[in-house]
Amino acid sequence: GSTGFGGGVAIPHGKLEGLDHVTGVFARLEQPIEFGAIDEMPVDLVFLLLSPPDAGADHLKALASVSRQLRDRGFVAKLRGAGSEDALYALLVGSETRDAA
């Protein structure tokens, strides 16, 4: 599935044989790409979410969590402004920790 949220954010997602847990990959693109987003704006932030075929509820829970974070304009601005990979990692892991609390 593909979700172009608008505001330059996309969350492509799906299920993949061979995975044993939900996996996410984040990319901040140097050059925005067309993604068919609802606002027709190009995308520069992509969070790929992949799950095992039998991870129905876990996949939806992860998708909801990622969606919630990437709808937060302040958080998205921090992702765009992060000056290093370490800063991006800290933002993403920090948001995961907050969601689990």
pLDDT digits (tens, 9 = 90+) for 8-60: 999 999 999 999 999 999 999 999 999 988 899 999 999 999 999 999 899 99
pTM of the full structure? 0.84
pLDDT band at 96 (very low <50, low <70, confident <90, very high): low
- The Cα–Cα gap between 8 and 38 comes to 10
Give catalytic residue positions. Answer: 13
Q: How far is CA 48 from CA 11, 85, 101, in A?
A: 6, 17, 23
Do the beta carbons of residue 70 and residue 11 sit within 8 Å?
A: yes
Block residue for tokens 């689990």: 100
